[in-house]
Chains A and B, each alone.
Chain A
Amino acid sequence: MSDLNDVYNDLIMEHSMNSYNKRKIENADKTEKGHNPSCGDEIELQLKMDGNIIEDIAFTGQGCAISQSSTSIMSDVLRGKTIQEAKEIVKTFIDMIKRETTDEKQLEKLEDAIAFKNIAYMPARVKCALLAWHTIEKML
């Protein structure tokens, strides 16, 4: 197993405990629920679009630190991106967690979401990290 502090690092902890992305969007364009029964993690993602661009993204929900921080950090990373860019980032994130991409150059586009890299070595928690990303896949 990887070092615990690599996973529960300050960035992840701060996002899980005190996320400014945890809020409702007034007249959102899209809403989608995600659920991870193994942990009981639940999120509801909301998108506000400006044409092709994700103008705002926010979520509500409850669950473990990994699922909640992953959702929050994803919100930061995808805000302001085009749908096409977002799709690529989502794919790269999923590939990283499944250890199908380790190319540093590729991973750069994940910005802060790269903090979850070591979750790949914690099989029991992979679902937590992926919940938000699988949920947004359905919305893009």
Chain B
Amino acid sequence: MISAEEIKKDFLILKDNNIAYLDSGATSQKPKQVLEAVEKYYNTANANPYRGTYKLSESATQEYGRAREVVAKFINAKYSEEVIFTKNASEALNLIAYSYGLENIKKDDEIVISIMEHHSNLVPWQKVVKQNGAKLKYMYINKNYELDLEEIKSKITKNTKIVAITHVSNVLGTINPIKEIAKIAHQNGAIVVADCAQSVPHMKIDVQDIDADFVVFSGHKMLAPLGIGVLYGKKQLLENMVPFIMGGDMIEYVYEQETTFAELPHKFEAGTQNVGGAIGLASAIKYLENIGFDTIHKLEQEIVEYAKQELSKLEYVETYYTPNKENHCSVISFNIKGVHPHDLATILDSCNVAIRAGDHCAQPLIRYMNIPATCRATFYIYNTKQDVDKLVQGLQKAYNMFSKFIH
């Protein structure tokens, strides 16, 4: 099996900076293979896709189409036109909220989300319910930071029209039972939006198997460049939706007062698209598939278990993750008693350890947990035990600095 040390060599930024990068949940680093694929595209095939009648434009169009097919196959979409390229997961969620939510949600309908949602999968739904006179209901977590089946079943009812749920929490690392949630939603006549921003980088997602109606994720959290994301939607739903952004390439005929729109996927891709980003994403998928998700799982399991074990030795560290190993993925939130997370992040930075501190775009969850903020270490395929050791050393330093002032 390939080792994290071996993988790390592909990431020049990690090699050159001697940094323990533990913030891949915010954005991952990029391997040289992905950067080379993007560079190659710009050096050999770049032009405005769809718009030129010359060879280069055709090559750009073809490369873009190929990237879409790679993504479709990666998530096992039935049709490649079910894959819409967006800027990121947030844009994809907004597209669903505007083009599906606002159009279909009626007065007194209910949208169900969980308390652990990222603001991107929360604020757009607030807008929908406010504008349409509907209700936003929350599924809350139990003491293991998980959603109980009873909680899920009690919140999703015949009044529910949309269930929007994160697959993996970006604060807790909890893996939600997305397939069961989809089943319960469908039994009640609701559609399911799965926010897979934190799951797609780490595990094989089969959109037909989980049977979600919409799935969103961001390329930049899974080794691809910034600025490319994916919306998957079931064809029949997408076909019946109104466009989100209007402009070039998404139309069929435009008259002075009327317009007809292009077919999928172009209907949802207005303006010149990020072809370089799509090619980078396809290359990132190839990179991940070369390693294989079984290996990725083993590598991550090893590093996360090691981190949990080392953190548990520090009696002043408080952690927030489920004890059920099989329901937990790649994220460890923690606090040191008496040290504010932002001070901790600054001190860790001085030890060349990059973690995130704050509310992680999940204020309702942090408030529900009744803590001011957390520090968060997130792990990916290139993280080694040395990275964890550096984190632990940094935590000890911070604790020593602060504890001598506790009188």
Q: Do A17 and B405 contact each other (CB < 8 Å), given the known contacts A4-B350, A39-B358? A: yes
- Which of the residues B340, B406, B407 comes within 8 Å of A64, measured between beta carbons? B340
B402 contacts chain A at the CB level, 8 A cutoff: yes
A65 proximity list for chain B (CB < 8 A): 339-340, 343, 402
Q: Do A39 and B350 contact each other (CB < 8 Å), given the known contacts A17-B402, A62-B372? A: no
User: What is the CA–CA distance of A25 and B339 in the complex, to the nearest angstrom?
Assistant: 27
- A125 lies within 8 A of B346 (CB): yes
Q: How far is the CB of B403 from chain A (nearest CB, A)?
A: 10
Q: How far is the CB of A3 from chain B (nearest CB, A)?
A: 8
- A66 lies within 8 A of B358 (CB): no
User: What is the CA–CA distance of A64 and B341 in the complex, to the nearest angstrom?
Assistant: 7
User: What is the CA–CA distance of A4 and B350 in the complex, to the nearest angstrom?
Assistant: 7
Q: Do A13 and B346 contact each other (CB < 8 Å), given the known contacts A62-B372, A63-B340, A64-B340? A: no
Q: Do A14 and B405 contact each other (CB < 8 Å), given the known contacts A4-B347, A39-B358, A40-B372? A: yes
Q: Do A124 and B373 contact each other (CB < 8 Å), given the known contacts A17-B406, A40-B359, A64-B340? A: no
User: What is the CA–CA distance of A63 and B372 in the complex, to the nearest angstrom?
Assistant: 8
Sample of 29 A–B contacts (CB below 8 Å): A1-B349, A1-B350, A4-B347, A4-B350, A7-B346, A8-B343, A13-B401, A13-B402, A13-B405, A16-B405, A17-B338, A18-B405, A18-B407, A39-B340, A39-B342, A39-B358, A40-B359, A40-B373, A63-B372, A64-B342, A64-B343, A65-B339, A65-B402, A66-B343, A124-B342, A124-B346, A125-B342, A125-B346, A128-B342
Please name the residue on chain B nearest to A42 by beta carbon: B372
A28 contacts chain B at the CB level, 8 A cutoff: no
- The list of the 5 closest CB pairs from A to B, nearest first, reads A64-B340, A17-B405, A64-B342, A4-B350, A65-B343
B372 proximity list for chain A (CB < 8 A): 40, 62-63
Q: List which B347-406 residues lie within 8 A (CB) of chain A.
A: 347, 349-350, 358-359, 372-373, 401-402, 405-406
B359 proximity list for chain A (CB < 8 A): 40
The residue among A17, A66, A122 with the most chain B CB atoms within 10 A of its own CB is A17
A124 proximity list for chain B (CB < 8 A): 342, 346
Please name the residue on chain B nearest to A125 by beta carbon: B346
- A38 lies within 8 A of B350 (CB): no
- Which of the residues B347, B349, B407 comes within 8 Å of A8, measured between beta carbons? B347
| 11 further contact pairs, Cβ within 8 A, besides A17-B406, A63-B340, A64-B342 | A1-B349, A1-B350, A7-B346, A8-B347, A13-B402, A14-B405, A40-B358, A40-B373, A64-B341, A66-B343, A125-B342
Residues in B lying within 8 Å of A, measured CB to CB = 338-343, 346-347, 349-350, 358-359, 372-373, 401-402, 405-407
A122 proximity list for chain B (CB < 8 A): 346
Q: How far is the CB of B376 from chain A (nearest CB, A)?
A: 14
A8 proximity list for chain B (CB < 8 A): 343, 347, 401
User: What is the CA–CA distance of A64 and B343 in the complex, to the nearest angstrom?
Assistant: 6
A16 proximity list for chain B (CB < 8 A): 405
User: What is the CA–CA distance of A14 and B406 in the complex, to the nearest angstrom?
Assistant: 9
Please name the residue on chain A nearest to B357 by beta carbon: A39
User: What is the CA–CA distance of A40 and B357 in the complex, to the nearest angstrom?
Assistant: 10
User: What is the CA–CA distance of A123 and B359 in the complex, to the nearest angstrom?
Assistant: 19
**Chain A window 14-29, contacts with chain B (Cβ cutoff 8 Å), 1 for yes, 0 for no:** 1011100000000000
B339 proximity list for chain A (CB < 8 A): 65
User: What is the CA–CA distance of A122 and B402 in the complex, to the nearest angstrom?
Assistant: 19
User: What is the CA–CA distance of A13 and B400 in the complex, to the nearest angstrom?
Assistant: 12
**Chain A window 104-140, contacts with chain B (Cβ cutoff 8 Å), 1 for yes, 0 for no:** 0000000000000000001011001000000000000
A66 proximity list for chain B (CB < 8 A): 342-343
**Chain A window 63-88, contacts with chain B (Cβ cutoff 8 Å), 1 for yes, 0 for no:** 11110000000000000000000000
Please name the residue on chain B nearest to A2 by beta carbon: B350
Please name the residue on chain B nearest to A3 by beta carbon: B350
User: What is the CA–CA distance of A47 and B349 in the complex, to the nearest angstrom?
Assistant: 37
Q: How far is the CB of A60 from chain B (nearest CB, A)?
A: 15
User: What is the CA–CA distance of A131 and B401 in the complex, to the nearest angstrom?
Assistant: 23
Q: How far is the CB of B395 from chain A (nearest CB, A)?
A: 14
